[in-house]
Amino acid sequence: MLPAQARLRRRPEFTAVVRTGRRAGRPTMVLHYLPERPEQSGGDVTSPPTARAGFVVGKTVGNSVVRHRVTRRLRAVVREELHRLPPTADLVVRARPEAGAATSGLLRRDLESGLDRLLGDRVRQP
């Protein structure tokens, strides 16, 4: 599970990332990345900023059971890679229909390669 402060929840947050962020397509997902989130009023100024992630898993991925399974798997792999993002970054992961039949390992590889492309990391640390 991602901590509450590391999750995108509101539609305007998703919209800002998808419309103005960079995009990297992979066979099972499309990553939308915004390195600097716009300032929003009413935010919690006492907690330090942290990278945030949100997920879009539509009906084309499968029925409700499949969509929830894909969301849980994506949440788990993003949690492991969130440290790579700057604290002011937002990431939206949109699942493609192929994600419904994908293993966690394949989702992890696609996420890592998409982040490598977006962040400009050519050599990964072991």
Give residue-wise pLDDT tens across range 80-90. 999 999 998 99
Instruction: Give the 3-state DSSP-derived string for 94-120, with helices as H, strands as E and coil as C.
Output: EECHHHHHCCHHHHHHHHHHHHHHHHC
CB–CB of 8/82 below 8 Å?
no
Assigned CATH for 4-37+51-119: 3.30.230.10
Environment class of 65 (CB within 10 Å of its CB; exposed 0-12, middle 13-18, buried 19+): exposed
- The pLDDT value recorded for residue 121 is 62
Per-domain residue ranges for the chain? 4-37+51-119
| Strand, coil or helix: 7 | strand
Beta strand 52-56 with 90-95 is parallel
**Amino acid 41: pLDDT:** 45
What pLDDT sits at residue 59? Answer: 96
Q: How confident is the model at residue 19 (pLDDT cuts 50, 70, 90)?
A: very high
